Chains A and B, each alone.
Chain A
């Protein structure tokens, strides 16, 4: 293909402009792919916040609301559910495991969750990964033990054996503290990239113990107070919890059990399928993600327009080049082809460099991004979707190249062989 050789030589002759143009395209392509990759991974990681759980059950409200407070620790439950409702379903023969959760307290902005050992045993996230302890152990019989999520331990610099005081309510600055009953850090979980990292886990008994002397939302005064020592001796079975998660023996019975729970006569309950609710929630956030995608598409368009400008600007000073080519036998469509090929080459170089930048960026930022945002960005070959995006960019570049090609075509017909500049 001799035209390609000519196009390359001509570009090499204008290498500074050509490199800048290709670089602009490279940056825009890199941005588009990065946004695309983060988007895909964010969606995947979002979807894998919780896995292996078949049903989440809470007081009757909306499914997104239940998902938000039970899994993402966002917002609050409208109502608690009774402990006996939990026991009723935990002992259901179709249920393999049940994790009760009790929310409502916090520690320096991080939520506290009361649960049982079943949580460490059965809760799964990502690709059915179980929670792992980075150090220490799960809480045991003593109610005043706490297991920290990785981010809590990191951000607040807690070590095993440290004592901490929980605050009542979930406001960032709480005036009412459970300072009469401090907790001891007995374990720190490994990082998961999910809301688990931002949670303090205590036993249901602990949750009950710090509220045992509370009435109507305020702590008892004077003689009504119960010390930590006294609390240890009491029966700390809770009367109410916030929600519970169920794993079933047989996935097929999920819908049957869901219907049963939703029609439970004891109290109004709502059972949701986490996967379905996650999708519902993601569709709410989809707009922002789409906006980001559209913005990066426009950045690519800007890069291509830069290329168009560079080629169009060069046309006038290249009239002589065109005339010489015409005199040695190039036909007008050769001239047009030359310019289309130039656009194609610039875009291809831009795309290749953009991919290079992307992989370099991923290689450099992979660790940081995973540690801070829980997003794993794989150094994988472009997906079919990404290839098709790149193909569209290349197609758009060729389409844009046809504008200067058309002008050069007309120009070379008018100029003919002799150009006296």
Chain B
């Protein structure tokens, strides 16, 4: 067994004034591993990602990221820890429309010195890191880098978002339904690119989706509904 990147134990969380949403006895993600986490909407996956990102704090239990207990950090420290070690890709509209493609990719390096340093060490500079990540993800045209992010197609935008998540080699990449806006052909191609780049960067991938057809591509798959022991509303249990 390699080093545990994420280690959840006896995690419990409820939004204020609501019944408990998450009750997860254990969840581990190994370094370098790609994990498919199946979660229909309403299953608490957004909340789980928020907890992993340190945006919310668990009510009980522990969340360890790279051996660091998140609950022991202050809000500001958690924010810094998140950007230093985690890259995010969301469903769509991931990019700031008013910035150029290049600036969007470089954003994490603006807020995290350690990611800027790592990008610089590996590629020579943040600029070069952005350009070569984009090139690896199939966006080779240098003119494209200077274009406004919202002038790209959805598929291109998701690849820009992937480059942004990967810049500065964070240990963990969290992808929340990144392919839901893509059509079936580009979906698999996108995931393969993502795998390749995660591997190159040495990042683990936590991929959350409701689309079971993608699951076989991953090292391992889990279902949030099975992991989570919190009482679900009747309608969800039937589904």
Contacts and interface: CB of A to CB of B under 8 A. Distances in A.
Contact of A2 (B83, B110, B164): B110
A416 B111 contact: no
A325 B96 CA distance: 8
B154 interface: no
Interface string A313-331: 0000000110011111111
Interface stretch (A5-13, A95-103, A240-248): A5-13
A10 B148 CA distance: 12
B108 A328 contact: yes
Given A327-B90, A329-B83, A416-B50, A9 B110 contact: no
B66 to A, nearest CB: 16
B99 interface: yes
Nearest to B112: A329
Given A10-B98, A12-B98, A13-B97, A329 B49 contact: no
Interface string A1-44: 01000100110110000000000000000000000000000000
B83 A416 contact: no
Given A329-B83, A329-B112, A417 B98 contact: no
B98 A13 contact: yes
Contacts of B176: 418
Contacts of A9: 96, 98-99, 103
A334 interface: yes
Contacts of A10: 96, 98
B94 A416 contact: no
Nearest to B107: A328
A418 B50 contact: yes
Interface string B67-105: 000000001100110111000101101111111000100
Contacts, number: 68
A117 to B, nearest CB: 75
B53 A416 contact: yes
A417 B96 contact: no
B56 interface: yes
A331 B49 contact: no
A9 B53 CA distance: 27
A12, A325, A330, A418: which has the most chain B beta carbons within 10 Å? A418
Contact of A331 (B50, B76, B107): B76
Contacts of B107: 325, 328-329
Contacts of B111: 328-331, 334
B49 A324 contact: no
Nearest to B79: A331
A13, A324, A413: which has the most chain B beta carbons within 10 Å? A324
B46 interface: yes
Contacts of B55: 326, 413, 416-417
B88 A416 contact: no
Nearest to B84: A329
Interface string B43-62: 00010011001011000000
Contacts of A330: 111
A416 B56 contact: yes
Contacts of A320: 93
B88, B95, B112: which has the most chain A beta carbons within 10 Å? B88
Contacts of B164: 328
B108 to A, nearest CB: 5
Contacts of B88: 327-328, 417
Contact of A418 (B46, B83, B99): B46
Contacts of B108: 328-329
Interface string B152-175: 000000000000100000000000
A420 B181 CA distance: 13
B90 A331 contact: no
A330 to B, nearest CB: 6
A203 B34 CA distance: 108
Interface in A275-328: 320-321, 324-328
Contacts of B79: 326, 329, 331-332
A265 to B, nearest CB: 86
Interface of B: 46, 49-50, 53, 55-56, 75-76, 79-80, 82-84, 88, 90-91, 93-99, 103, 107-108, 110-112, 164, 176
8 contacts: A9-B98, A9-B103, A329-B84, A329-B108, A329-B111, A331-B111, A413-B55, A416-B55
Given A417-B50, A417-B53, A418-B90, 13 more contacts: A2-B110, A9-B96, A9-B99, A10-B98, A12-B98, A324-B95, A326-B55, A328-B107, A329-B79, A329-B107, A332-B75, A416-B53, A418-B46
Considering the complex of A and B, which 10 residue pairs feature the smallest CB-CB distances, nearest first? A329-B83, A329-B111, A13-B98, A416-B55, A328-B107, A327-B88, A331-B79, A416-B50, A328-B108, A9-B98
